[in-house]
Amino acid sequence: MSTARMNRIASVGEMTSRIESVFENKPKQQFCSCGALLDNESLGRWASLLTECTSCIEKHREAEAARQLEEREERRKALRKAKAHERWKKVVPKKYRETDPKHPNFPRGLDAFAQAWLADVLDGEGSRVWCGLIGESGKGKTRVMSRVMRQKIHSGEDCHWINATRFQWACQYQFDDERGAIARKALERMLSCEFLAFDDLGKQKWNPTVESHFYDLLEHRDSECKQMIWTSNSTLEELALMLSKDRAKPIVGRLSESSNIAEI
């Protein structure tokens, strides 16, 4: 046997015995920060890498998972808020988005009335499914309505906002070549949305087609128990006088039966 080969065998033997000695050496006793003795016997030379007991490792893993979950939830919440803000800007006219409830002319009583209705409806407290705010122009009805709308949008409901003039426009132009698609979409949204804000009833006299669409809208939302808040410049009696003889009673009747109404 050559000297080189003998040397190689010797060094392999030396290496083997060194590895064996490492594994034979009992690791020294180590403790977790919680005080538990670490089960490191089988780990040999790697024993020093184990610094925590199984229960602490599990606890830390759970805490980390909970932290990540919370982080994801925070991100989702922020995203929902941003989306709601976008919806709010898209749905509610700017003038009403800038409502300041601390302004001296802000109608606090009317606001409290609408908020109470909203709370009752949310609780299913047997409140009527619609809320009506009646009073002359400039008293802040629409501002109160916009605050209800804000809450609805932020709670994630599918909301739509329309005023009587736009409603009339949509009814009249639904079969128009150019504007028909937009008009029909507006009419469809009024029926399908979860929450509808209808501004400025009684602002102008409607023709029979508009009246008939309005009655269908009320009928649909009432039978589906879909919430709505509306404002009117006219009292229900005045509104009845503005409607045609056939439609006045069913429309005004439905509004008064299904709404909590406040007059200022």
Q: What residues make contact with Zn ion under the rule CB under 5 A?
A: 32, 34, 36, 53, 56
Query: With respect to Zn ion, which residue has the nearer C-beta, 61 or 80?
Result: 61
Task: Pick the closer one to Zn ion by CB: 32 or 242.
Answer: 32
Assigned token pair, 68: 């990540």
Query: Is residue 96 within 8 Å of residue 146, measured between CB atoms?
Result: yes
Shortest Å, Cβ 49 to Zn ion: 15
Q: Residue 48 or 209: which CB sits closer to Zn ion?
A: 48
159 touches 197 (CB < 8 A): yes
Neighbouring C-beta atoms of residue 139, cutoff 10 Å: 17
Q: Could you tell me if 128 and 260 are in contact, meaning their C-beta atoms sit under 8 angstroms apart?
A: yes
Cα separation, 163 vs 12, whole angstroms = 92
Which CB sits closer to Zn ion, 19 or 36?
36
Would strands 227-232 and 259-263 be described as parallel, antiparallel, or unpaired? unpaired
Residues shown for the chain: 264
Name every residue whose Cβ is closer than 8 Å to that of residue 110 and which is 6 or more positions away in sequence: 133, 135, 139, 140, 141, 144, 262, 264
User: Residue 194 Cβ, how far from Zn ion at the closest point, in Å?
Assistant: 51
Smallest separation, CB 50 to Zn ion (Å) = 11
Q: Least distance (Å) from Zn ion to the CB of residue 228?
A: 59
Nearer to Zn ion, 56 or 129 (CB): 56
Extract the runs of DSSP E, i.e. beta strands, from 140-220: 159-163, 195-201
Instruction: Compute the least distance from the CB of residue 31 to Zn ion, in Å.
Output: 8
Residue 68 CB, shortest distance to Zn ion, in Å, is: 22
Beta bridge partners of 162: 198
Measured from the CB atom, is 28 or 245 closer to Zn ion? 28
